[in-house]
């Protein structure tokens, strides 16, 4: 039987993490391993995992805080299964997530990635559909009625134009994932980079929206958050898109190269953040956001 690992890199809200763990343990298909890698210091967490008494659950706490990217990389290194899910520590699985994904894998043996059906919830667990997700659905997500197989330049161009995937919900072929892992030089756009790396390695993806099996939690951006409006994430994005455009050209994928240079969804995101930066008086952040939004492909 095909094996599955749920890898959960944890840092932050204890209650939301516990809800995420419970959603894994509530699967109708109970044949899995759950590995939690704790990058925090909350004192009650180790004891909570110990009292679960479930041999499928493996918990470890990092001696020192690794940060997002290195903890993600550790998740990949510690994975063992045929298929691996790197879920967010505040996301939730529907009880039939694993049952559904296992059936998709059975229909497509050796598939590199599975993107199942997702709904978005807010910080309080209510199903929501905000601007970001409406934009994903209406402007960037391919038309899928039930199930669709995508790969190569077609999928690379699609996600580089606008990343419509829900990374924590994806099931990855473990061998391919462990061979590539997350890049060291990205801390925000590492999920998109990993997908494109997999496509360059010849992996394919099944998109199946016939049933919703995953709840992706999207928290509201606080107007008081300095980092949110600093524009630093877009500096990283510019560096990534320039590098991947050159790789797409070298590979002979011109549509993907153009999509990377134009990166329309990333530019639109920067544009929506610009008023907030101006309201906060973050002039340098506003300049970074404006440059990213208005000068794609000109540098």
- At 145-196, the pLDDT tens digits run 899 999 999 999 999 999 999 999 999 999 999 999 999 999 999 999 999 9
- 210 and 278, same domain (yes or no): no
Clarify whether residues 233 and 213 are in a common domain: no
Give the separation between CA 243 and CA 237, rounded to whole angstroms: 10
Q: Is a pLDDT exceeding 60 seen at residue 225?
A: no
Residue where one domain finishes, among candidates 186, 217, 248: 217
Angle between helices 190-200 and 68-78 (to 10 degrees): 40
What pTM value is reported for the model? Answer: 0.94
93 and 144 together in one domain? yes
Lowest pLDDT segment from 51-60, 160-169, 177-186, 286-295: 286-295
Average pLDDT over residues 87-98: 98
Q: 273 and 201, same structural domain?
A: no
Q: Is 235 helix (H, G, I), strand (E, B) or coil?
A: helix
- Is the predicted pLDDT of residue 297 greater than 70, yes or no? no
Domain range for 21 is 4-217
Domain count across the chain: 2
Q: Return the SS3 of 122.
A: coil
Considering the domain architecture, whether residues 205 and 281 belong to the same structural domain is answered as no
Question: Could you tell me if residue 209 is inside a domain?
Answer: yes
Q: Does position 77 have pLDDT exceeding 60, yes or no? A: yes
* Distance in angstroms (rounded) separating the CA atoms of residues 236 and 171: 26
Assess contact for 136 and 269: CB atoms under 8 A. Answer: no
Identify whether 222 is part of a domain: no
In a domain, 100, yes or no: yes
**Within this chain, do residues 122 and 250 fall inside the same structural domain, yes or no?**
no
Asked if residue 179 belongs to a domain, the reply is: yes
Identify the band that residue 224 occupies on the pLDDT scale cut at 50, 70 and 90. very low
On whether both 154 and 87 belong to a single domain, the answer is: yes
In a domain, 299, yes or no: no
């Amino acid at each position: 039987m095909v094996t599955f690992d749920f890898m959960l890199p944890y840092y932050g809200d204890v209650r939301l993490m516990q809800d995420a763990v419970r959603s894994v343990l509530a699967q109708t298909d109970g044949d899995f391993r759950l590995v939690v890698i704790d990058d925090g210091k909350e004192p009650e967490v180790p004891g909570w995992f110990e009292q679960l008494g479930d041999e499928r659950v493996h918990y470890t706490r990092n001696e020192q805080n690794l940060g997002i990217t290195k903890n993600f990389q550790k998740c990949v290194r510690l994975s063992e299964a045929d298929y691996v899910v790197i879920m967010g520590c505040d996301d939730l699985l529907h009880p039939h997530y694993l049952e559904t994904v296992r059936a998709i894998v059975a229909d497509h043996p050796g598939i590199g990635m599975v993107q199942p059906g997702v709904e978005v919830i807010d910080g309080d667990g209510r199903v929501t559909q905000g601007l970001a997700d409406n934009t994903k659905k209406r402007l960037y997500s391919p038309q899928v009625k039930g199930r669709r197989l995508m790969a190569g330049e077609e999928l690379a161009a699609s996600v580089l134009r606008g990343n419509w995937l829900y990374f924590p919900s994806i099931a990855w072929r473990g061998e391919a994932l462990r061979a590539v892992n997350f890049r060291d030089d990205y801390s925000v756009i590492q999920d998109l980079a990993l997908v494109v790396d997999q496509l360059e390695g010849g992996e394919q993806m099944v998109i199946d929206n016939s049933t919703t099996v995953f709840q992706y939690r999207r928290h509201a951006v606080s107007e008081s958050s300095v980092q949110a409006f600093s524009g630093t994430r877009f500096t990283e994005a510019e560096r990534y898109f320039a590098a991947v455009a050159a790789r797409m050209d070298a590979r002979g994928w011109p549509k993907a190269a153009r999509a990377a240079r134009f990166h329309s969804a990333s530019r639109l995101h920067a544009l929506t953040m610009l008023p907030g930066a101006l309201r906060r008086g973050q002039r340098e952040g506003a300049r970074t956001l404006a440059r990213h939004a208005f000068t794609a492909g000109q540098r």
